[in-house]
Structure 1
Amino acid sequence: MQKKFIAIAMSTLLMAGALAGCGGTKQATNEIKIGGDFELTGGVANYGKQAVNGIQLAIKQANASGGVLGKQITLVLADNKSEAAEATNAITKLITQDKVVAVLGPATSSNTLAAVQVSQDNKVPIITPTGTNEKITVDNGKTRPYAFRSCFIDPLQGTIMANFASNTLKAKTAAIFIDSSSDYSKGLSQSFENVFTQNGGQVIGKEAFLQKDQDFKSTLTKIKAMNPDVVFLPAYYEEVGKILKQAREMGMNMPFLGTDGWDDSKVVEIAGAAPLNNTYFSSHYSSQDTDPNVVKFIEAYKKEYNQEPSVFSALGYDAGLLLIDAIKRANSTEPEKIRQALEQTQNLQLTTGIMSVDTNHNPIKSAVVIEMKDGKQMFKEKITPKL
């Protein structure tokens, strides 16, 4: 009888503990945890840090306005160290241990491709602010249900720069110099070549390098001998700066064309101002844009960080706004409902333009071409894609 009484008492205590645990969980959920899988150290850490700055600003503003669904948003960061394997580890931790409702990041295409399958397997939305490779949202012709982005995709950038080379610069020949270790670079190279040749141009040579290479003179000598009208260099700022510095020292004065991987102030520090003259790249917005949404963002960013925002900051900010808007419209923190709301995004005003999400979970919005003059970015052209 005594044993039975003890058993009943223990059972009652366990139930009480379980109920207390449930109550504690409810109290603890007065926040919405969002994950950030970003390059905080390593070769492209500047991209990750800038994107995180933008995201944190968007979250701070939302929290100051009363939060979302009556709750405060918390950004839980994990450093992927600018490596694909670490990007997989980071998102796994964020989802399985930190229990985030969605993940923002990574910044680069290769790292996002490494992380995206984990989000699909766990049915948690992932939004990359700056990963532009097509395969991030579409796998073997099928849209990945939980993968989204706030930047346009590589084919659009390749198309923009190929058309710019043909129509604005009147180029007839081009050489392509790619980072063979980067999915981003390879994807852009293909889209540029396709459109440039369709326009009647000729790609007269292709050369490659590896990320973290230091000396490019041997390969640049081969490109110089081709004497192309333009050189297409789809790569990230560190290598771009070194390549342009060495190319100009070798007397290669033809236009170099690039994409949003160039869009970082460090490229000027690395290359110097003069070597960047006669170069052009595509990007997502221009700080010279007089759009009130751009002006408002730049003012807020400067006040918060005492520095000019980069395009990665702007896209990080937009990714934060996109996710916050989706959670509001979903009226829920359930990942599946957030996914559905992201998919239904239409005509959302962001810093980089009005955005709608297409059937492949890619944004439909405008792009710009920027010219470098004496180390400063100058707005050149704005392109709005046909819907």
Structure 2
Amino acid sequence: MLTITSMALVGCKSSAALTIPIGLNAELTGGLPVVGASCKNAALMAVKEVNDAGGLTVGGKQYQIKLFVEDNGYKADQSVAVQQKLITQDNVVAIVGPNASVMAVPASEIAESSKVLMISPWSTNPNTTIDSKTGQPKKYVFRACFIDTFQASVDAKFAMNKLGAKRVAILYDLGNDAFVGQSTFFKNTFTQLGGTITDVETYTTGDKDFSAQFTKIKASNPDLIFLPSMYNEAPVQIKQAHALGIKVPFLGTDGWSSQDLITLGGKDVEGCFFSAHYAPDIATPIAQKFIADYKTAYGAVPDDVAALCYDSFGLLFQALKTAGKVDRQAVRDALATIPNYQGVTGTMQFKEGSGDPIKSAVMLQIKNGKFVYYSTAEP
């Protein structure tokens, strides 16, 4: 059996020469099933499009994409285990995901130490692509989204310059690295602009009662509340704030970008603003095609997780074609020097030495039960 297995592995290059194994590490179950579903849907669509068109041309040969889908369960340790399985057992060339920063940061350590390309569609935490110990960029970890320092800066400037807020209160989850970072960066930028942070309140993942925090926030008399939280948390929080008589606007981040926010929040989230990765109502021709195809396949408008996952596969396919061979290192090197990629979520490029794309953000407002484009923030 050992001899046969060894022969099979050695013969892989010839017997499986027309397939490229790619991994997907997604939050299919646990606390963010909507995120995982959007990611998986977009991944399947991207792969199907390539395979149905005859495959991907790499070095003059046509390859079919073989996708290995794994569920990280929205657990950090499970995300690490999935990453290890995809790399050591499935022998993937590259991995797309995880999405949430809590999952992506530990998974990125495995990708980096294994020297396997990883592209996170939705993780905005700087530590996804930066080694927190050395402060140096990770060489094998990239993302398709902007980072929290940029997003929080955009939000702070928007709060002051567009919404006229001079006094802002903040509520965030202490257990979520992305929200901790967003809150810190927002606070720093807003105060540098001359604004005042009236109160900073925190909670722990899974909390349901925010009345104590909002009572203190109300007493601080803010013009606006900055609320970096998830799409399934924000509606509960905003409803409780309104029940306490708080009437000031709320400003969120990309964690809000799921239609479930509106379904759960109803009239309470009407008029709220948040930063996001793309706006379906001002879509480019590339984005329009993606949206139409996604709606045909799944009967829903794709959220930004789906759009970013689709772009992650687009970036990976471009890197494979540029590399000219199915090789982990060659694909990583090709992605690092992509000069300009036109994706669903906009134009992006990587500069050697950074896994963070140069790209813009958009501000959306909830109007009449829909996400509506409000403005664009360039890098």
TM-score after normalising by structure 2: 0.94
Question: What residue is the counterpart of 2:32 in the other structure?
Answer: 44
Which stretch has the larger CA shift, 369-378 or 86-95? 369-378
Aligned partner of residue 349 in structure 1, secondary structure: strand
Q: Is the 8 A contact 2:198 2:221 kept in 1?
A: no
- Specify the structure having the higher radius of gyration (Cα): 1
Structure 1 residue 22: Cα displacement: 3.9
- Aligned counterpart for 2:278 among listed residues 277, 285, 310: 285
Q: Is the 8 A contact 1:211 1:239 kept in 2?
A: no
Q: Is the 8 A contact 2:27 2:73 kept in 1?
A: yes
Question: What residue is the counterpart of 1:197 in the other structure?
Answer: 191
Q: How does 1:300-339 map to 2 (within 5 A)?
A: 300-339=293-332
Question: What residue is the counterpart of 1:34 in the other structure?
Answer: 22
Q: Is the 8 A contact 2:199 2:217 kept in 1?
A: yes
Please tell me the residue identity of whatever aligns with 1:153: I
Q: Distance in 1 between matches of 2:348 and 2:355?
A: 11
Question: What residue is the counterpart of 1:8 in the other structure?
Answer: none
Question: What residue is the counterpart of 1:262 in the other structure?
Answer: 256
Question: What residue is the counterpart of 2:173 in the other structure?
Answer: 179
Q: How does 1:115-126 map to 2 (within 5 A)?
A: 115-126=107-118
Structure 1 residue 141: Cα displacement: 2.1
Structure 1 residue 277: Cα displacement: 2.1
Question: What residue is the counterpart of 1:9 in the other structure?
Answer: none
Runs ≥4 residues deviating over 4 A: 14-21
Q: How does 1:349-360 map to 2 (within 5 A)?
A: 349-358=342-351, 359-360=353-354
Question: What residue is the counterpart of 1:142 in the other structure?
Answer: 136
- Aligned counterpart for 2:336 among listed residues 343, 352, 355: 343
CA gap of 1:174–1:16, structure 2 versus 1, over 3 A, is closer
Aligned partner of residue 339 in structure 2, secondary structure: coil
Q: What per-residue deviation string (whole Å, max 9, x for no partner) do you get for residues 212-257 of structure 1? A: 2111112111111111011111111111121012112222111111
Question: What residue is the counterpart of 2:149 in the other structure?
Answer: 155
Question: What residue is the counterpart of 1:76 in the other structure?
Answer: 68
CA gap of 1:33–1:289, structure 2 versus 1, over 3 A, is same
CA gap of 1:38–1:276, structure 2 versus 1, over 3 A, is same
Q: Is the 8 A contact 1:130 1:149 kept in 2?
A: yes
Question: What residue is the counterpart of 1:377 in the other structure?
Answer: 371
Structure 1 residue 170: Cα displacement: 1.1
Question: What residue is the counterpart of 2:358 in the other structure?
Answer: 364
The number of residues matched between the two structures is 371
Q: Is the 8 A contact 1:365 1:384 kept in 2?
A: yes
Please tell me the residue identity of whatever aligns with 1:264: S
Aligned partner of residue 132 in structure 1, secondary structure: coil
Q: Distance in 2 between matches of 1:17 and 1:244?
A: 58
Which stretch has the larger CA shift, 53-62 or 316-325? 53-62
Aligned partner of residue 107 in structure 2, secondary structure: helix
Q: Is the 8 A contact 1:120 1:144 kept in 2?
A: yes
Structure 1 residue 16: Cα displacement: 9.8
Aligned partner of residue 297 in structure 2, secondary structure: helix
- Aligned counterpart for 2:269 among listed residues 269, 272, 276: 276
Question: What residue is the counterpart of 1:297 in the other structure?
Answer: 290
Q: Distance in 1 between matches of 2:30 and 2:8?
A: 44
Question: What residue is the counterpart of 2:49 in the other structure?
Answer: 61
Structure 1 residue 20: Cα displacement: 7.2
Q: What per-residue deviation string (whole Å, max 9, x for no partner) do you get for residues 338-362 of structure 1? A: 1101100111110111110133210
CA gap of 1:246–1:63, structure 2 versus 1, over 3 A, is same
TM-score after normalising by structure 1: 0.92
Q: Distance in 1 between matches of 2:164 and 2:238?
A: 22
CA gap of 1:20–1:74, structure 2 versus 1, over 3 A, is closer
Please tell me the residue identity of whatever aligns with 1:90: V
- Aligned counterpart for 2:84 among listed residues 92, 96, 118: 92
Aligned partner of residue 357 in structure 1, secondary structure: coil
Gaps of 5+ in 1: 1-13
Q: Is the 8 A contact 1:82 1:111 kept in 2?
A: yes
Q: Distance in 2 between matches of 1:337 and 1:263?
A: 34
Q: Distance in 2 between matches of 1:362 and 1:375?
A: 33
Please tell me the residue identity of whatever aligns with 1:137: T
Question: What residue is the counterpart of 2:247 in the other structure?
Answer: 253
Q: Is the counterpart of residue 101 in structure 1 residue 60 in structure 2?
A: no
Structure 1 residue 65: Cα displacement: 1.9
CA gap of 1:16–1:135, structure 2 versus 1, over 3 A, is closer
Q: Is the 8 A contact 2:22 2:65 kept in 1?
A: yes
Q: Is the 8 A contact 1:282 1:368 kept in 2?
A: yes
CA gap of 1:110–1:16, structure 2 versus 1, over 3 A, is closer
Q: How does 1:1-12 map to 2 (within 5 A)?
A: none
Q: Is the counterpart of residue 242 in structure 1 residue 218 in structure 2?
A: no
Structure 1 residue 269: Cα displacement: 2.0
Q: Distance in 1 between matches of 2:367 and 2:37?
A: 26
Please tell me the residue identity of whatever aligns with 2:82: A
Please tell me the residue identity of whatever aligns with 2:370: K
Please tell me the residue identity of whatever aligns with 1:39: E
- Once the two structures are aligned, what percentage of the paired residues are identical? 39
